[in-house]
Structures are given as C-alpha cells and as structure tokens.
Amino acid sequence: RAREQTETVQHNLGDMNVECIYCSALHWLDERLTSSSKIHPKFGTCCLQGKVVLPILQDPPPFLQQLFENQDESHAFTSLEVNIDKSILNGHGPYSFRVNGELCHYMGSLLPESNNKAIYAQLYIHDTDLTHNIRMENNKTLNVDT
C-alpha cells in the first residue's frame, strides 16, 4: 500500500532572545502570557513572574560528574566537532547547544572487520550480555554495578 505523502509546513518562532525580567530565562516572544504586551512581556513558564526563586545549583562532586560523563560516553550515538558559541552561554536558563548548518550521521558496517571488536552501532545487533561486556571493555572507567 502506498504511503500517503503529507506536506510539512515550517514554523519559525524567531530568536529566543526575550529575557524574563525576574529570572533572566530566555524565551520566544510568542511564549508571553496573553495578558502581557509585546513591549513588556511576562512569562509563566519559568519563575511565575518572580514567585519561584531557586537556589543556584552547585557543581556535582567530581566522582558523580565522572560517572555522568562515563555513562554519556558509553551510550553516545553521535559525536560532534564544534566551535562553542560563547555568546549564548550567559548562565541563565537551561544549558543550550546550537548547531549551525547540518548534522550528519555516518554509518559504518554493522559487522566488525575481521579480528576487530564490535563498536558503535555494531553493538546493538548482538546479544545483550555480549554488548554489555564490550561496552565495559571499551570504557574502562565504568563500574559494572551501575
């Protein structure tokens, strides 16, 4: 049966450059409360107009940070070579990462070359115990119990 083709329409909210006057979170102008104006926008999705004040998060202890990084690396599907745009890293709101241009995934063979261990996508078509052991071997700092 033929798949029905649907046309997708692009919706662009513009730049996320409107700052909450209370907590400095960045928003799109269209996120403002309907009761506020374009000139003096107010938002209800960050701090409820100053009613919610959260303490600044402390960095996690080094052992916990290392655990997060090791787990992230062991499950990574894509790696990027980037130039960090410092202009968007002002410390307000959640961490954001901007990709300019296109993001491509290059896939190798689903079978490892002879005498080589399975890596990346090759790990996801094998027996789960085997893939767990391979991931542990490829990431020496991971703890087998976590």
Q: How far is CA 25 from CA 3, 17, 118, in A?
A: 42, 9, 43
Angle at the Cα of 74 (from 66 to 136), degrees rounded to 5? 95
Closest CA to 96 of 32, 29, 15: 15
pLDDT tens column, 78-102: 666 677 667 766 666 666 666 677 7
Integer Cα distance of 27 and 3 in angstroms: 38
Q: Is the pLDDT confidence value at 105 over 80? A: no
- Shortest CA distance to 53 belongs to which of 32, 28, 22, 31? 22
Average pLDDT, stretch 71-84? Answer: 66
pLDDT over 70 (residue 21): yes
Q: Is the pLDDT of residue 40 over 90?
A: yes
Looking at the whole model, is its pTM more than 0.85? Answer: no
Residue with tokens 């649907």: 6
